Structure formats: structure tokens, C-alpha cells
Structure 1
Amino acid sequence: MGIYDIFLSNSGPAVHMQAQCCAAYERHLARYVNTPMTLLQLGIREGGALQMWKKWLGPNARIVGIDGDPGCARHADEQIIVRTGNGSEAKFLREVVAELGSIDVVIDDGSHQMIDMIASFDFLYERISPNGVYLIQAAHTAYLPSYGGGLNESGTIIQRFKDLLDELHANHVHNNALRPTSFTKSTLSMTAYESILVFEKAIAPNRHFIRTGGY
């Protein structure tokens, strides 16, 4: 069963999600279905999304939820781990990463505040697996002042995405005006949907130009 069908047929704890998220999840995360993997979600709410991941990804998946509300611990079960803390605080995240050992997918569905989104990304992206995926939900909050956003405002996750798009192409910038970084070297692709940002990593992405055919 696809994740959209699971989402629509949900009769358990509530899942808050824009419908277009399902297409993004299917496109970028389907390879993890029924494989041993770890998914970390920032933000739990009623816990419905954790159960959705469990059903879709299968019995080999380890689902981890982080939330500042201690009451969210009730959503833990034999396949779901819940940790209470600030998902944008480096000290807490370092402890979680040390405990888990490996993280394949991060889904940021936390506070949606710009300062938190960026802090979480800055810490976790370089620490997920070399072939991992990092998804940010509710990226539209980058345009809302109540979340620290605004059109063309500096310090938003959208502006950070634009800057990282340059960084992804740093190998092609002349005169060393922008030097390749660890992000350049480890990132395969960046995808923007309405309200969803996706970063995919790869081990030594093949960026060589190759000519075949011709005379």
C-alpha cells in the first residue's frame, strides 16, 4: 500500500500533512520500504505520522521521533523510539545521534521557526548516512513573519536553500569565488516542491562529463 493510501485511510492518531507531501515521500523514500533503516522525525504532535512511517516503511524500519513535549513519550512502541528535547539544540542532537548510530532519513516537521529549521539542518545534514535524505516540511513558513520569515528575508530556510544551490555548483564557479565544501562533495540533488525541500546525499556523486557516440 502506498503512503497516500495509508494517509487517507488513517483512523488512528491524527496526521497533519499537506497532500503533496505524499508524492515527494514516494519519490524520494520508496527505496527504503522493507529495508533496515532509521528515520528521524523532528516534531511528533499526536503521533500519527510515526505510525504512518511504521506502516509504510515496514517492520525493518526504526522510527525515531523528537519533541519537546514529554507527553509524546506515549507514542513509543516496539518499533518507535521517542526522545524528549529540543530538535534544534546541538547538545541534545549530538546525544541522539550518538545513541542511534546511523540515520538514513530526517524529516523536519518541528516548530517551523526559521532559526530552528536552520539549526537542525546545519547539525544533522552532515551526520546522516552518506546516501541519506533530508526533508523539510512546511517550508512555506519562510514567507511568514510569525515564523521569522518574509519574502527575500535573510536567515530563512528558503534563502538558505538558494545559497546552497550555488554551493552545490561550486565546482563550476570560476576564479575560486566559491570553493567546494563538504556540502558540495556529499550532495547529489536538491529538490523544491511547494512547501517541501528535499536534499539527497550520495557517496562521491559522478559529476564528470562523458562523451559517447559521434565520429
Structure 2
Amino acid sequence: MFSKLESLFFFHVGNQIDKWEQYLKIYDVELTRFAQSSRPVSLLEIGVQNGGSLELWSALLPEGSKIRGVDIDPQVAEIKFTNPDIRVDVLDGTTDEMLELFQDQSFDIVIDDGSHVSKDIISSFRRCFQLVSPGGLYIIEDLHAAYYESHGGGVHQETSAMRFLKELIDSVHLDYIEQDPINGGFDVELFRPYNQLIGRITFYDSVAVIEKLVEPKTEPYRRILSGTVSTAVDANKWLNALPRGQLATLRLSTKLAGQMDHRLADMVQRLEGACAAAEYRAAVCQKQVESLQQKAVHKDAGQGELTTTQQEHIIALQGGQDQEESSDFSSKKNGTDLHQKPSSRRDLSEQMKRSSDPVQSRRGDLKDECTGPLQIHNQAPRVEAVSALHEASLHHEKTIEVDLHDQLEISKALVRSLQEQLENERVNAQQIIAEMRGKLERSYAAWSSKARALSRLKSSRSVQQS
């Protein structure tokens, strides 16, 4: 069984109509509310051809509806219409002439059935969407041509009409794209007006329908929440994960708002505690850095100088050299030689071991550090031992210096990281705290207003009853 539009099409007598078969069902869905309207509507079609579709729209829409058509072909001026409410103008629908001609008019329905070239489709939309009345429709026909190379189209063609319409879909979701730092090369400012005006975009086979909002959207849509029981999913968990923009505009039912007040207050308290803990961690790390910096300063001041222990070792060795040289000289003077008295050497060694003098003790330790037994009468191994001791001590000090330097750099990096984390946490917490407090204030104001209204209602009922 035919719908009203299909009957009008197939039983039409007059100027020729050229449409694809799926269009009739699409228009049946999209134009029914206008066809059933109790008032006349207005329609503008870009691309007239033989004018038959203008007659079809006039028959479908309420009596008195104004039907206008524009076409670049001068021949359309010769088309005859029996209905005086149908009018055709010779005009390029892709230029500003459209806005000049219809500067004081708007249309409930605008249909683009023009050249079907992608650049013309885009140009017409940018100009003629302004002519659509609030709540009206902008319909683009024959979009299959947007895939034809001959019409400037293609699946991956940057300038195709389909690519433009896909960006219109992005413009509808512009509020969420702005929260995403990775938005590609999307021109936010170019599509912002469409975000405020477009209510929906519907795609059919070869047809796109763009509906204009009845009222322009002046701010992002808010998330709304009602009900007081959350058995499966605790509201606190996902409330904490909401983006700040959504959290600031969250709208709650009256009963839920009363329940959430205590939760929001707890959340504020936790955030303030987190800020305090982060500040404490940063202070501890700062003290560690200062301590390491002081150690590094003391190390730099003593660099290149012998430590007290090193000096004692060297003085001990030098004292031992002088004593042994004196003993050696005395022995030679008496006609004796140390090499000839091994027992004296053993006695001397035992005496050195028993001695409580730290210098003599250090001489005994040097026997283990040197490569061979220490010869009292030979100064060369003694000098080598002193040099080895000095080098070992310097190497140890350099190792300590490197370790201190590494610890200092690690601590500095940790402090910087904690300071950045602290600053981020502080900023986020302050914003959320401000938003929560504002929400609490708004909730309180709303409750106060409702309480006053309820009080006035009870007073008026008491007066009526009396």
C-alpha cells in the first residue's frame, strides 16, 4: 500500500519529477511532521530541473505553504506553475546571492538537489544553513556523487562532501573534543557555530538530514542523576573519575542532592588531606637535598688535601725512616751490620708489635699492604707504600664524592617530581573543592527556595480552608 507521498508521486500529472526510489520513504519519515502541521510551512529547493518536485512538495505540505526554487540554468524561468505559491529564481545557490535574496526570510525545509559536486554542496551548506528556521531541516540529496572523482569526491578525498559531513558529526561532539588534547587537525573555531545549532545528523542511502536546534545551545549539556540506591555501582567511584567539566555541571535530583552533600563534603576533606600529605613529602625531600648539598660543599672544600688519617700515616712512615736511618748509621759506626744480626731485627719487630704507639702499629700494617716484606734499610719500598696508600685513599674519596653527587642528583630529580605532582594535585584539588562548594551552595539555595515555596503554599491552603 502506498504512503501519501508515494501516491502523490506515482499519480502526479504535471512537470516531470526525478528521484531515487529510496527517497520517497526517507521523505515520508522526515517530512511527516510538516505535512501534518496545522500551519503553512516554507520550503526552498536548490536545483529545480523541470520543476516537478516543487509541485510534489506543494501537494504534500499544508495549504498555503510557500515553495521556492533556485537554479543556475536560465531555462527554469520558462517553467509554468499553476500554483501561485510556487516560485523559481535563476540564481547560483553556492554564492552569497542566496543570502541577499532571502535576507529577510527563513525556511522550515531546505533541500540541496543542485550540481552534486562536493565543493558546491559544501558552499551551499555554509550559506544556506543560515536560512533554516529553528527546528527545521537541511536535506542533501544524491550524496553518492561525493564518492565520484568526476564530482570532486572519493572515499579518502579531503575535499569531498562526505568528509565535510563527517566533520559536522565531530562538531556536534565539540564539547568533548576540546577536552581531548589530541584532536588532530580539527578546526575547533570553524565548527563551533554548528555545535551550537545542529541537533542531529541522520544519514540514509545517498541522503543526509541535518536538523537545526529549536534553541541554540549556549553551554555543554549536563549530566543528570536521580535515584538514591546504587547497589551494583557506587556513585562515589565514578563521580571521582568524572572530568572536571562534567563534575562542575552535574545535576542531581532533590533527594539525591541531599544524600550526596555528605559524600561531597568527605571528598573535599580527602582532597585537602592529599594536598597536605604531598606538601609534607616535598618538605622531607627538600631537607634531604639540603643535607646532601652540605656534604658536597664540605667535600669540595677538602678536595686535593690529605685527610688527617693520611697525614698520620705519612708522618709515621717518615718517622720510621728517620729512626731506622739513625739506627743503621749507628750500627755501621760500631762496625756492625743489621744483616748480620737477624736476632736484633726480630727483637725490633717484636718490639714494634708490642708498642702502643699508633705510628709503630701503622708500620706493621704496611707490611700487609706492600707487595713484599718491608726492608728497614731500603727506602724504595717504603716510598711505594706511601704512594699506594695515598692513591688508595684518593680513590676512596673520589668514590664517595661520586656517590654523593649521584645521590644529590637523584634527590633533586625526586624533589622536582614531587613539586610538580604537588602543584598539579593542589590545582586539581582547589578546582574540585571550588566546584563542590559551589554545588553545595547551589543545592542549599535550591532547597531554601523550595522550602519557602512550600511554606507559602501551606499558608495559602490554610487561608483557603479558613
- Rounded Cα–Cα distance in structure 1 between residues aligned with 2:62 and 2:128: 24
RMSD (Å), alpha carbons: 2.0
- Rounded Cα–Cα distance in structure 1 between residues aligned with 2:147 and 2:228: 49
CA contact (8 A) 1:75 1:82 kept: no
What per-residue deviation string (whole Å, max 9, x for no partner) do you get for residues 110-147 of structure 1?
11111111100011113321211100000000011111
Q: Alpha-carbon deviation of 1:207?
A: 3.5
> Quick check: 1:45 aligned with 2:36?
no
- Rounded Cα–Cα distance in structure 2 between residues aligned with 1:158 and 1:32: 27
Is the radius of gyration larger for structure 1 or structure 2?
Answer: 2
Partner of 2:121: 117
Partner of 2:89: 83
- Rounded Cα–Cα distance in structure 2 between residues aligned with 1:4 and 1:159: 32
- Rounded Cα–Cα distance in structure 1 between residues aligned with 2:48 and 2:131: 21
Partner of 1:211: 225
1:93 equivalent among 94, 98, 104: 98
Partner of 2:165: 161
- Rounded Cα–Cα distance in structure 2 between residues aligned with 1:59 and 1:192: 29
Structure (1/2) with the larger strand percentage:
1
What per-residue deviation string (whole Å, max 9, x for no partner) do you get for residues 166-194 of structure 1?
11101122146546711011111001111
- Rounded Cα–Cα distance in structure 2 between residues aligned with 1:75 and 1:47: 9
- Rounded Cα–Cα distance in structure 2 between residues aligned with 1:155 and 1:7: 35
Partner of 1:146: 150
> Quick check: 1:3 aligned with 2:5?
yes
Partner of 1:201: 212
Q: Alpha-carbon deviation of 1:213?
A: 4.0
Partner of 1:181: 192
Partner of 1:29: 31
Deviates more, 1:114-123 or 1:66-75: 66-75
- Rounded Cα–Cα distance in structure 2 between residues aligned with 1:59 and 1:168: 35
1:62 equivalent among 54, 63, 66: 66
CA contact (8 A) 2:41 2:62 kept: no
Distance 1:214 1:52, change over 3 A: farther
CA contact (8 A) 1:40 1:105 kept: yes
For 1:94, the aligned partner's letter is: L
Partner of 1:130: 134
CA contact (8 A) 1:117 1:157 kept: yes
TM (normalized to structure 2)? 0.43
Q: Secondary structure at the match of 1:130?
A: strand
Extract unaligned runs of 5+ from structure 1. none
- Rounded Cα–Cα distance in structure 1 between residues aligned with 2:52 and 2:23: 15
Q: Alpha-carbon deviation of 1:214?
A: 5.4
Number of residues paired by the alignment? 213
For 1:152, the aligned partner's letter is: H
What per-residue deviation string (whole Å, max 9, x for no partner) do you get for residues 2-58 of structure 1?
212211222322111112112221222222124322100001111110000000013
Structure (1/2) with the larger helix percentage:
2
Deviates more, 1:147-156 or 1:179-188: 179-188
CA contact (8 A) 2:40 2:61 kept: no
- Rounded Cα–Cα distance in structure 2 between residues aligned with 1:140 and 1:131: 26
- Rounded Cα–Cα distance in structure 2 between residues aligned with 1:18 and 1:154: 27
Percent of aligned pairs with the same amino acid: 29
Partner of 1:14: 16
CA contact (8 A) 2:197 2:212 kept: yes
Q: Secondary structure at the match of 1:104?
A: strand
For 1:158, the aligned partner's letter is: M
CA contact (8 A) 2:146 2:160 kept: yes
TM (normalized to structure 1)? 0.91
